[in-house]
Amino acid sequence: MLKVNTQVLCLMQHQLCEQSRPFEELKIGYFNQFAKCHIKKLLDIAVCLSETVWSATHICPMLLAYEALMDVLPLIQKFASSESDDFFSNILRNMREAFRKLIGHIKHFIQSNMEKHLDDVAIHPMTCFLICSIKSFGSHRNLVQSTLAPGDNSSSFGHLLYDVITCWKSVLTEHSNIYRADLQRQYIFLLNNAYHFNTKTDGLLDELLSDRQIIKQHDDEFKLLFKKWTESCTEEACTPAKSCLNPNCWWGSQRRSLVAFTSKFNKTFDRQKTWKVPDVVLRQVLKDRIQDCILPDYTRCLENCSSSGLFCSCLQIASGDIYTTETLETTVQGFFEG
Q: How far, in Å, CA of 52 to CA of 42, rounded?
A: 15
Are 126 and 168 spatial neighbours (Cβ–Cβ below 8 Å)? yes
- How far apart are the C-alpha atoms of 97 and 312, rounded to whole Å? 77
Read off the pLDDT of each residue in 185-207 and give the average, rounded to a whole number. 94
- pLDDT value of residue 314: 44
Q: What is the mean pLDDT of residues 153-181?
A: 92
Mean of the per-residue pLDDT values for the chain? Answer: 83
Residue 27 is predicted with a pLDDT of 52
Instruction: Give Cα 137 to chain centroid, integer Å.
Output: 13
Q: Summarize pLDDT for 260-309 with one digit per residue, the tens.
A: 899 999 999 999 998 999 999 999 999 999 999 999 988 888 877 766 55
Q: What is the DSSP string of 13-58?
A: HHHHHHH-STTHHHHHHHHHHHTHHHHHHHHHHHHHHHH----GGG
Task: Read off the pLDDT of residues 202-236 as tens digits, 9 standing for 90 and up.
Answer: 889 999 998 899 999 999 999 999 999 999 999 99
Mean local confidence (pLDDT), 103-121:
86
Per-domain boundaries in the chain: 1-103, 114-236, 243-332
pLDDT of residue 334: 93
pLDDT of 112 above 80: yes
**Distance of alpha carbon 294 from alpha carbon 64, whole angstroms:** 54
Split at pLDDT 50, 70, 90, the class of 324 is confident
Give 4 or 109, the one with higher predicted confidence: 109
Q: Is the pLDDT of residue 135 over 50?
A: yes
d(CA 176, CA 187): 8
Range scoring the smallest mean pLDDT among 2-11, 66-75, 208-217, 225-234: 2-11
pLDDT tens per residue across span 234-259: 999 999 999 888 766 555 577 788 88
Crossing angle between the packed helical segments 59-79 and 2-19, to the nearest 10 degrees: 20
Helix (H, G, I), strand (E, B) or coil at 337: strand
Q: Stretch 309-322: mean pLDDT, rounded?
A: 52
Asked which of 65-79, 158-172, 305-319 is least confident by mean pLDDT, the reply is 305-319
The reported pTM is 0.84
Per-residue pLDDT at 41 = 75
23-63 residue pLDDT tens = 455 455 545 555 556 667 777 778 888 899 999 999 999 99
With a pLDDT cut of 90, the percent of the chain lying above it is: 52
pLDDT score, position 258: 85
| Measured distance CA(266)–CA(237) in Å, rounded | 11
Instruction: State yes or no: pLDDT of 310 exceeds 50.
Output: no
- The confidence score (pLDDT) of residue 125 equals 93
Instruction: For residue 335, give the DSSP letter.
Output: T
According to the model, what pLDDT value does residue 195 have? 96
